[in-house]
């Protein structure tokens, strides 16, 4: 007999079926005992056969195989239950789970959830968030491939910090100092000279000693870079299409409800956008926060702007464009019409920065003067600068923080909740 997934039972009503999974829950009522069995995709309700006496001893999370008859049953979750089931134990489970998996919401502290990730991730609600993550990444790739992008894999061990060594993890590389890449920035730019349009999905590493609900020291970055742009607005249009595809994938996914996704996702196209200087005026006028001398926005300002975008534009997304050059890295292209401001942007989603991007410099001499101005030594960047000496088109790109995206979709209060095995100041395990 072929094994049937719990999510496929409705196609087998009236048949004898074989189900495998974990004992998710046992409900003993006066007349009947129900089992809830969880497999890799969902759960199903099971009524054991009258002579299946072993079901009372089985501990939660025991791996079992059962055979029974799939019966349409309106009161069962999913509309089907498996009756007259015989149960066989495939693999035992010790008593004393670190947290209950059967409750609708995860009822445990964040440290407990993270310390016991291998168990806590089995909770259907936690699992569902990562199913949405998977769906989002798949949609991201499809959206970029459709537009002619090539997926690339660039090194994570690098000789030179992308921007500065301050926030880089350092390692010993056969006796030489090396760093973990903060971003694939320099590589994806070099590869614009090869493929014109590239994307990468991979880990990035930040040795920032932040201890906040919105920072981690390792995360997954969805990067893209494209050649032959007019300016940053072409990059923003690309990001809009990618975010739109990711939003549809999350919204339409069967796991959206289970994950607690906050729907609908409001994305009018084009996304509303504000110049950085306008955003500061708005913060002063509407929220009484006079930050007009600051070169950046604080998290509270981003939240206010997110509220404003929803109120005025009914949009979950808001571009803030033209961040001051002083706060952007050396490869940033200035705004030709507004000295001091850049062709760089952030994308706020529900009041949190989830992506950053912009147009980059593309002429060798512009790199040389930008690096001179910032006192950045050119020698370590020789292999990068060579690309610009030998012809690079106007180009730009962006990076989306994957875990932040999922965090905002499901409304998690801490980024650690949407990271399988988070890495922070004090957490290296599991």
Specify the residue, 31 or 426, whose C-beta has the smaller distance to a copy of itself.
426
CA distance 269 to 262: 20
Closest approach of Cβ 343 to a copy of itself, in Å?
A: 16
Specify the residue, 148 or 340, whose C-beta has the smaller distance to a copy of itself.
148
Question: Is the CB of residue 55 less than 8 Å from the CB of residue 18?
Answer: no
410 binds a copy of itself (CB under 8 A): no
Cis peptide before 318 (omega within 30 of 0): no
Restricting to residues 186-245, which ones interact with a copy of itself according to CB under 8 A? 187, 190-191, 193-197, 201-203, 205, 207, 209, 217-218, 220, 227-228
Part of the chain binding a copy of itself (CB under 8 A), chosen from 79-87, 165-173, 294-302, 310-318: 165-173
Q: Which pairs with CB-CB distance under 8 Å and at least 24 residues apart come from 154-163?
A: 154/181, 154/184, 154/187, 154/188, 154/191, 154/200, 154/202, 155/181, 155/187, 156/180, 156/181, 156/202, 156/203, 156/205, 157/181, 159/380, 160/380, 160/381, 162/186, 162/329, 163/329, 163/330
CA distance 25 to 36: 5
Closest approach of Cβ 97 to a copy of itself, in Å?
A: 6
DSSP 53-64: GGGGTPPTT-EE
State phi, psi for 396 to the nearest 5 degrees.
-165, 175
Of the residues 40, 77, 165, 268, which one makes contact with a copy of itself according to CB under 8 A: 40
25 binds a copy of itself (CB under 8 A): no
352 binds a copy of itself (CB under 8 A): no
176 binds a copy of itself (CB under 8 A): yes
Judged by CB under 8 A, how many residues of this single chain contact a copy of itself?
Answer: 99
Restricting to residues 369-408, which ones interact with a copy of itself according to CB under 8 A? 380, 382-384, 386-387, 389-394, 402
Token match 């079926």: residue? 17
Restricting to residues 57-116, which ones interact with a copy of itself according to CB under 8 A? 61-63, 90-94, 97-98, 115-116
Closest approach of Cβ 65 to a copy of itself, in Å?
A: 9
Specify the residue, 151 or 290, whose C-beta has the smaller distance to a copy of itself.
151
CA distance 21 to 31: 25
């Amino acid at each position: 007999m072929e094994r049937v997934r719990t999510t496929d039972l409705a196609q087998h009503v009236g048949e004898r079926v074989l189900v495998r999974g974990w004992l998710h829950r046992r409900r003993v009522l006066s007349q009947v005992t129900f089992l809830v069995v969880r497999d890799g995709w969902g759960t199903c309700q099971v009524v054991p056969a009258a002579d299946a006496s072993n079901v009372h001893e089985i501990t939660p999370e025991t791996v079992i195989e059962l055979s029974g008859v799939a019966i349409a049953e309106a009161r069962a979750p999913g509309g089907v239950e498996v009756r007259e089931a015989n149960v066989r134990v495939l693999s035992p489970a010790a008593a004393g789970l670190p947290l209950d998996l059967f409750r609708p919401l995860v009822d445990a502290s964040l440290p407990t959830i993270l310390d016991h990730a291998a168990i806590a991730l089995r909770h259907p609600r936690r699992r569902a968030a990562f199913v949405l993550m998977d769906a989002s990444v798949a949609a991201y790739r499809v959206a970029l491939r459709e537009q002619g992008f090539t997926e690339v894999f660039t090194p994570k061990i690098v000789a030179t910090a992308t921007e500065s060594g301050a926030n880089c993890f350092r390692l010993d590389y056969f006796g030489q100092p090396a760093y973990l890449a903060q971003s694939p920035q320099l590589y994806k730019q070099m590869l614009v000279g090869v493929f014109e349009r590239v994307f990468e999905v991979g880990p990035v590493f930040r040795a920032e000693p932040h201890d906040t609900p919105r920072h981690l020291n390792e995360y997954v970055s969805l990067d893209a870079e494209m050649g032959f742009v007019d300016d940053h607005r072409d990059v923003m249009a690309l990001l809009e299409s990618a975010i739109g595809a990711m939003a549809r994938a999350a919204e339409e996914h069967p796991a959206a409800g289970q994950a607690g996704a906050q729907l609908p996702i409001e994305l009018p196209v084009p996304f509303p956008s504000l110049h950085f200087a306008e955003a500061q005026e708005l913060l002063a006028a509407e929220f009484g926060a006079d930050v007009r001398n600051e070169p950046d926005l604080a998290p509270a300002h981003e939240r206010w702007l997110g509220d404003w975008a929803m109120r005025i534009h009914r949009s979950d997304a808001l571009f803030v464009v033209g961040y001051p050059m002083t706060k952007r890295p050396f490869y940033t292209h200035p705004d030709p019409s507004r000295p001091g401001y850049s062709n760089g942007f952030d994308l706020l989603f529900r009041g949190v920065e989830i992506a950053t991007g912009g147009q980059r410099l593309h002429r060798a001499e512009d790199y040389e003067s930008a690096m001179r101005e910032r006192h950045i030594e050119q020698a370590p960047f020789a292999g990068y600068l060579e690309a610009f000496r030998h012809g690079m088109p106007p180009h730009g790109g962006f990076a989306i923080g994957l875990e932040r995206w999922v965090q905002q979709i499901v409304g998690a209060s801490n980024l650690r909740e949407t990271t399988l095995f988070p890495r922070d100041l004090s957490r290296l395990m599991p």
